[in-house]
Structures are given as structure tokens and as C-alpha cells.
Structure 1
Amino acid sequence: MLVPEDWRVQVGGLPILGGYEDRTADGGALPDNAPVLKVNATTLLGGVKVAHEPS
């Protein structure tokens, strides 16, 4: 999943023999009113990766 760099991301969920990975920046430099994308992923024998889209 590619996310714009000016969005804050929160990743969570239930990994079963899989996982999820947040490769976005920590969001410390983003304004408080930045859009928030909440990802709730359930994975089974696979994974989910969230990253910022290239500029």
C-alpha cells in the first residue's frame, strides 16, 4: 500500500503466521491536522507493507 508523504499512518491488526510492516516516516514533522490512515490488517501466511509513495 502506498500512502502520500503528508499522511500519518497507524498500522495494527492480527498477523497469523505472517506480519505487517510500516515503512513510513514516524510523522513527527507532520502537522496535527494531517490526514490519518488507519490500517487494520489480518494476515494469514502472508503480509502487508505500508510505505510512502515516491515523490
Structure 2
Amino acid sequence: MTNCTTCRTEYDETDAEAVKEHTDDVDCGQSCRCRNRPRCYNCRGSFCFCMAH
């Protein structure tokens, strides 16, 4: 198990989907706080258009 530095939860580094969620950056094309952060980041912005959040 690996501890994510973004969302502070553990994930299985052998699970490709989990690794992607905690490491691949989001680029929604908006100026959201979640831009260039992994999908596990919760920006909680009322103006965020990211489907991943």
C-alpha cells in the first residue's frame, strides 16, 4: 500500500486504476484549483467543471 500525498489515503500500487487516480494529472481546460492535480484531489470549488470531482 502507498499513502497518497494529495488525498492522504492509502492505495494499492499494483492496481493500475488506483495508481492512475492518485498520480495522473487532471486538465479540464478550466482555471480550477484541481488543474494539474490528480483525480483524487477534491477542489470543492463551485465553479469547477471537472467530471472527475
Higher helix share goes to which structure?
2
Shorter-chain TM-score tier: under 0.3
Structure 1 length normalisation: TM-score?
0.26
Higher relative contact order (CA 8 A, sep 6+): 1
TM superposition score normalised by structure 2: 0.26
- Higher strand proportion, which one? 1
